[in-house]
Structure 1
Amino acid sequence: MRGAHCPSSPLLQSFHFVGFVHNDIKPGNILFSCERGAVVIDFGLSSEVGSRGVHTGGTPWYVPPEYARDGKRGAPGDVFALGVVMMYVVGRLPLPERHFKELWFNILDAYNAGSAAALAMGRWQDVVVQTARTLDAASSELERLVQRMVAPTPGARVALDRLAEEAAVLPEHE
């Protein structure tokens, strides 16, 4: 079942290749069927790669940490969001929307340092970081890849092209 490993990475890679970022990767925006594989939907919050505006839409639990620092959303942010989705898929996190409601925050306000939203985002990012730290050498190759997807800084995150390559060669039994 290799297609379920990071099912959306080839789709995101194609989308990024043509110059766009999704900005709202989450389980509800990924459909899966045996016939077609993964299909990413809802491009209403997408933006051009490199656009300078602050993108305030999306779902709080999937917004990358760099957003709180500088308002940036880009390809590494889509990788981060897919990493959070995959933490749920591999059973390392419960579905954030259902189990971390107390950490909901307004994305627009998260960009304002010291705001309640920024503090809630920081607490949620701590949950992601702590969970990622549990993925170690004893974890599966898929889990170690997921760990690299949710690295706190964009430069430390696995790039989308590498993600697609590495996901394609994961062992079948994972």
Structure 2
Amino acid sequence: MSSALSYLHTQKVVHNDIKPGNITYSPERGAVLIDFEIATSATDGLARGGMPWYLPPEFVNSPKNRGAPGDVWGLGTTLLYVLGKIGLPEKTVGVWLMHEVADRRKKEAREKMFNWLDSVAVKRQELDCNMDRAQGLVYRMLENEPESRIRAEQVSAALNNASG
């Protein structure tokens, strides 16, 4: 998935909906990213839709903050599930309306988003970054600041170096 995101991002495309349900597996091809319905140009900025559990923290301040770092965050959250660190959020966490998160008057949606982000931060801190390379990469994918978050091409390079 990191190589798929890396390719998309070099093409200035943001998927905007990275989640387990948008990743399939083929024995011939490996993991395959699907559902580009809400993909945007990296310069467009505003994407509508997606699932709230995979939105990056920067989304709280502005729905326009959905770019390549947000795709990496979504992959990091997905990998928390794959690693067995969290349950599937769609089944285990209450839902909130994404369009209400940036509206400071919609306290309930904002509170649910902040509570979710806090629980992701706790799970991030529990990752074993020293003994497990994959967990170390997920830790870096879930960095709160988008400028400090690992980029998809860096994840892909780290995985390629590990297997080589």
Shared fold, TM over 0.5: yes
Structure 1 pair 92–27 and aligned structure 2 pair: CA distance change class (3 A): same
Q: Give the match for residue 110 of structure 1.
A: 101
- Structure 1 residue aligned with 2:78: 85
Q: What TM-score results when the alignment is normalised by the length of structure 1?
A: 0.87
1:86 CA drift (Å): 0.6
Structure 1, unaligned stretches of length 5 or more?
1-7
TM-score, scaled relative to structure 2: 0.92
Matched, 1:133 2:120: no
User: In structure 2, what is the Cα distance between the partners aligned to 1:40 and 1:108?
Assistant: 25
The percent of aligned pairs where both chains have the same amino acid is 36
Q: CA deviation at 1:168?
A: 2.0
CA RMSD of aligned residues (A): 1.5
Partner-residue secondary structure (3-state), 1:156: coil
Q: CA deviation at 1:96?
A: 0.8
Residue deviations 1:99-149, cap 9 Å, x none? 11x2x1111111112521111111100010010011144541110110110
Deviations 1:57-103 (A, max 9, x none): 10111011101112210000000000001111111111111111x2x
Contact 2:130 2:136 in 1 (8 A): no
Hey, what does 1:26 align to over in structure 2? 19
C-alpha displacement of 1:16: 1.3
Provide the secondary structure at the position in 2 that maps to 1:170.
Answer: helix
In 2, the alpha carbon distance for the partners of 1:19 and 1:137 equals 30
Is the 1:109–1:117 contact (alpha carbons within 8 Å) kept by the matching residues of 2?
A: yes
* Residue in structure 2 matched with residue 170 of structure 1 by the alignment: 162
